[in-house]
Homo-oligomer: A and B are copies of this chain.
Amino acid sequence: MEKNVEISMLCQLYGKLLTEKQYEFIDDYYNNDLSLSEIAENNNITRQAVRDIIKKGEKKLFEYEEKLLFMKRMLNQEKRIEKALSELTKIQKDYSDKEIANVLENVKKELRYLV
């Protein structure tokens, strides 16, 4: 996984455990594509200070993942669900019985909520 995608996901999962500034700067940098200089200017601090805050926040995100493994679990789960969905789609196509096709559709709907 690309580093920026990874940090973006980690921030979604554990962002509430960061300080306000760490969260805000990581969000600006990785999700809103602002540069360090832009964030620095918006907050009246140096570019180096922005970088330090982001680095510290990133470190915390990786530490939380190392302990809790929620991202890893989530990605494994998504893989399993995608597989289940594609199997269901496969047999659904062979189905003429409308009632059963409907049930399969409902099951897929439930599962899609999970990814």
Q: Which residues of A contact B (CB under 8 A)?
A: 13-14, 16-17, 64, 67-68, 70, 77, 80-81, 83-84, 87-88, 90-91, 94, 100, 103-104, 106-107, 110-111, 113-114
Q: A17-B64, A81-B114, A87-B110 are in contact. List 14 more A-B contacts (CB 8 A).
A: A16-B68, A17-B67, A17-B68, A70-B70, A77-B114, A80-B110, A81-B111, A83-B110, A84-B110, A84-B111, A87-B107, A88-B107, A111-B111, A114-B114
Question: Main SS of chain A's interface residues?
Answer: helix
- How many copies of this chain? 2
Contacts of A100 in B (CB 8 A): 91, 94
A13-B68, A16-B67 known; A90+B103 contact, CB < 8 A: yes
